[in-house]
Every structure is written in structure tokens, then in C-alpha cells.
Amino acid sequence: MSRSVSGHPISGNDRPSKAFRAGRVCLEDGCGTRLSIYNNGKFCAQHAPMAVPRTRGRKIA
Ligand SMILES: [Zn+2]
């Protein structure tokens, strides 16, 4: 009566999390700004391509 309970050892929390990893830094060379875990990009706010507003002759104070 040997029932083999499909028992694979519980392998800790090794699965990839959906949350962005903490401790990432901007990929811009020489930047090294630490990215927020809520930042799904690879660059910091200053170097993210989409984060650069175009100034149409307006001065941003
Ligand atoms: Zn940066």
C-alpha cells in the first residue's frame, strides 16, 4: 500500500514575481539612478524616452 503522493519538494519562492524588481538602475550610461519598482521602464524619469516633454517655445519654470 504505497501511494506515491505526487510530492515534489516545495521549492521556496523561486517563481518570477510580477512585481518589478527593486534595485534596478537606469540603463543610461553613467546615470545609475535607482528605478522605482513601479517604474516598468529601463530608464529613470530623466532618461526615459517618453518622459521627455517637448517644449514648444514655452519656458517651463
Ligand atoms: Zn537615468
Q: Please tell me the distance between residue 5's alpha carbon and the centre of ligand 1 in angstroms.
A: 51
Specify whether the CB–CB gap between 50 and 42 falls below 8 A: no
Do the domain assignments include residue 3?
A: no
Report every protein residue that has its C-beta within 5 angstroms of ion ligand 1.
Answer: 26, 28, 31, 33, 44, 47
Percent of the chain scoring above 70 in pLDDT: 57
The yes-or-no verdict on residue 51 having pLDDT over 60 is no
pLDDT for position 1: 63
Residue 8 lies in a domain: no
- CA–centroid distance, 57 to ligand 1, in Å, is 25
Q: What is the structure's pLDDT at 41?
A: 87
Looking at the domain assignment, is residue 14 inside a domain? Answer: no
Q: Which residue's entry shows cell 530623466?
A: 46
pLDDT digits over 17-43, tens only?
566 677 899 999 999 999 988 888 899
Q: Report d(CA 60, CA 24) in Å as an integer.
A: 30
Given this model, what pLDDT does residue 10 score?
A: 67
Full domain range(s) for residue 40? 20-45
- 32 domain-assigned: yes
Q: Within a domain: residue 7?
A: no
Residue 27: inside a domain = yes
pTM higher than the cut 0.75: no
- Domain count across the chain: 1
User: What's the gap in Å between 33 CA and the centre of ligand 1?
Assistant: 5
Distance 2 CA to ligand 1 centre (A): 60
